Amino acid sequence: MSGEMTDLSAADRTRILAKSALFDPPAATAADGRRDLVGLDRAELAAEIDAIGEPSFRVKQLWHWIYHQGVTDFAAMSSIARPLQGRLADHFVIGRPQAAIVQTSTDETRKWLFRFRDGQEAETVYIPDPAEDRGAVCVSSQVGCTLSCRFCHTGTQTLVRNLGAAEIVGQFMAARDAYGEWPSPKGETPRLLSTIVLMGMGEPLYNYANVAKAMKIVMDNEGIGLSRRRITLSTSGVVPMMDRVGAELGVNLAVSLHAVRDDLRDELVPLNRKYPIADLLAACRRYPGSSNARRITFEYIMLQGINDSAADARELVRLIAGMPAKVNLIPFNPWPGSHYQPTGKAALDRFAAIVNAAGFAAPIRTPRGQDILAACGQLRTDTSMGSKPPRAVLS
Ligand code: SAH
Ligand code: SF4
């Protein structure tokens, strides 16, 4: 990579981070002024503890109670003496987003509409794996999205704000509360809610600071302790930030490709106009740690008559040739007002067979929770306000 290119992407990164900060959430403080301890990193927690005159070993204790035991009440912290429990409760809370609506699908998928302190809302979905006794929690990173992918329900909602680290970790913790999944396991005993996919509402790489902080908290071994292999971050292709994810988090990467030609991808995923397919794939090729054990996942939504031909499949395998990758074929999930049709079974199977024959796994993602609008791309929290103008105006 040339020096000039490195400088350019560094400048781009700085610009993206500065712009993202404009959408940061309000401080994580309860209505009565008490600070929420969830979402603080260890250094910030240490500063809070120091500010009330307590020694630093309390940080380890609190971390254990909050993220390993999952308690929300200081009175349950049995290794901490009563008077200090009271003092902690005078200054702090251990918060959770409030579940405004909970729906469970006929296939056991569960969706929460979480409400945060300022009244903003986002959705979280738990998708149990029918073949195993565990499943994935699909977490949102923003309320709305600045991007307007044409097939995505969230993309019709304007970006209201980023979710804070407390709110991102909080979605997972509240989901675990609902299934009685505390304490976090030590060693290899898994919990039902053992995987996180950052595939809910929003573009996680346009909220990198909060997402990264939240993921570092869930990966901390003395707390929730999820391995980076159990976390998948999905991006529509914010190229400069993909390098940062690789260097700092090392989680699994999923890339929403959806088209193999720039003219079509420009239309389906408008961010492509800024970061075209060649740049996106170059970033995938440099993603660290991609080995056969840690393949990049290309997400490819199947839209009837749009991107699902045999020629598209052949071009796809040409583009990703030589990369440790798999292709997740996602049947289009309709939502109220959507214009596309899902690809039929024969064309889906034909596409998968071509990708498979080239040596790439190409599972067809079974839609989950469609009856409660919980499937990929169906999430949207605000049906009355904050809509973007009709697409025709945008394009
Ligand atoms: N903003 C990120 C992560 C959230 S979207 C991204 O775009 O990758 C998670 C996945 O759902 C993406 O692959 C997205 O393209 C896909 N998706 C969006 N709308 C969909 C729909 N209507 N049907 C099926 N998948 C959809
Ligand atoms: Fe945003 Fe992802 Fe939906 Fe595109 S697919 S509008 S990036 S949430």
Give the tens place of pLDDT for each residue, 51-60.
999 999 999 9
Confidence band, pLDDT 50/70/90 cuts, at residue 374: confident
Confidence band, pLDDT 50/70/90 cuts, at residue 2: very low
Mean pLDDT across 11-25? 94
Query: For the chain, what percent of residues have pLDDT higher than 70?
Result: 92
170 lines ligand 2 (CB under 6 A): no
275 lines ligand 1 (CB under 6 A): no
Q: How far is CA 284 from CA 69, 191, 247, 287, 297, in A?
A: 37, 31, 13, 5, 10
CA gap 330, 333 in Å, rounded: 8
Confidence band, pLDDT 50/70/90 cuts, at residue 188: low
pTM over 0.75: yes
329 lines ligand 1 (CB under 6 A): no
Residue of 171, 257, 284, 330 best suited for mutating to test ligand 1, as the one with most atoms within 8 Å of CB: 330
- Over residues 215-235, the pLDDT tens digits come to 999 999 999 999 999 999 999
Note the pLDDT of residue 118.
94
Ligand 1 centre to CA of 358 (Å) is: 25
Just list the catalytic residues: 123, 376
123 lines ligand 1 (CB under 6 A): no
CB 374 within 8 A of CB 105: yes
Residue 376, both tokens: 């990929």
Residue 99, both tokens: 């579940």
- Over residues 326-372, the pLDDT tens digits come to 999 999 988 888 999 999 999 999 999 999 999 999 999 888 888 88
Which atom of ligand 1 has the smallest separation from the CA of 340?
A: 22
Note the pLDDT of residue 244.
94
Number of helices (H), then strands (E), belonging to the chain: the values are 12, 13
Note the pLDDT of residue 9.
84
DSSP string, 117-180: TTS-EEEEEEEE-TTSS-EEEE---EES-S---TT-SGGGBPP-EEPPHHHHHHHHHHHHHHTT
Residue of 152, 158, 328 best suited for mutating to test ligand 2, as the one with most atoms within 8 Å of CB: 152
Nearest CA to ligand 2 atom 4: 149
Note the pLDDT of residue 1.
46
Which atom of ligand 2 has the smallest separation from the CA of 236?
A: 7
CA gap 232, 196 in Å, rounded: 6
Task: Give the residues across from 300 on adjacent strands.
Answer: 329
Mean pLDDT across 66-80? 97
Assess whether pLDDT exceeds 90 at residue 14.
Answer: yes
Ligand 2 centre to CA of 251 (Å) is: 20
Note the pLDDT of residue 190.
59
CA gap 99, 147 in Å, rounded: 26
Q: Which long-range contacts (CB under 8 A, 24 or more apart) does 62-68 make?
A: 62/37, 62/88, 63/220, 63/222, 63/223, 64/222, 64/223, 66/37, 66/38, 66/94, 66/223, 67/184, 67/217, 67/220, 67/222, 67/223, 67/224, 68/182, 68/183, 68/184, 68/222, 68/223, 68/224, 68/225
Averaged pLDDT of the chain = 91
CA gap 376, 388 in Å, rounded: 20
Mean pLDDT across 241-248? 94
Confidence band, pLDDT 50/70/90 cuts, at residue 187: low
232 lines ligand 1 (CB under 6 A): no
User: Which residue, 114, 94, 93, 92, is CA-closest to 103?
Assistant: 114
Q: How far is CA 323 from the centre of its chain?
A: 23
Number of CB atoms found within 10 A of residue 366's CB? 11
Element (H, E) at 299: strand 296-302
CB 392 within 8 A of CB 161: no
Comparing 8 with 382, which gets the higher pLDDT?
8
149-151-157-160 Cα dihedral, nearest 10 degrees: -40
Note the pLDDT of residue 131.
81
Mean pLDDT across 16-37? 94
Number of CB atoms found within 10 A of residue 347's CB? 17
Note the pLDDT of residue 391.
46
139 lines ligand 1 (CB under 6 A): no
Nearest CA to ligand 1 atom 18: 377
Give every CB contact of residue 214 below 8 A, 6+ residues apart in sequence.
39, 165, 168, 169
Most confident of 171-175, 291-295, 381-385: 171-175
Give every CB contact of residue 5 below 8 A, 6+ residues apart in sequence.
none
Which atom of ligand 2 has the smallest separation from the CA of 148?
A: 6
Assess whether pLDDT exceeds 80 at residue 203.
Answer: yes
Confidence band, pLDDT 50/70/90 cuts, at residue 134: confident
Assess whether pLDDT exceeds 70 at residue 29.
Answer: yes
290 lines ligand 2 (CB under 6 A): no
Ligand 1 centre to CA of 200 (Å) is: 8
256 lines ligand 1 (CB under 6 A): yes
- Over residues 271-313, the pLDDT tens digits come to 999 999 999 999 999 998 655 567 899 999 999 999 999 999 9
149 lines ligand 2 (CB under 6 A): yes
Nearest CA to ligand 1 atom 5: 199
Output DSSP code: residue 342.
B
Residue of 142, 236, 340 best suited for mutating to test ligand 2, as the one with most atoms within 8 Å of CB: 236
Note the pLDDT of residue 373.
84
Q: How far is CA 344 from CA 299, 303, 339, 347, 351, in A?
A: 18, 9, 16, 6, 11
User: Which segment of 62-66, 110-114, 212-216, 365-369 scores lowest on mean pLDDT?
Assistant: 365-369
197-203-206-209 Cα dihedral, nearest 10 degrees: -20
CA gap 123, 103 in Å, rounded: 11
CA gap 227, 249 in Å, rounded: 11
Residue labelled with tokens 């500065």: 18
Which atom of ligand 1 has the smallest separation from the CA of 299?
A: 13
Number of CB atoms found within 10 A of residue 86's CB? 11
Mean pLDDT across 239-256? 95
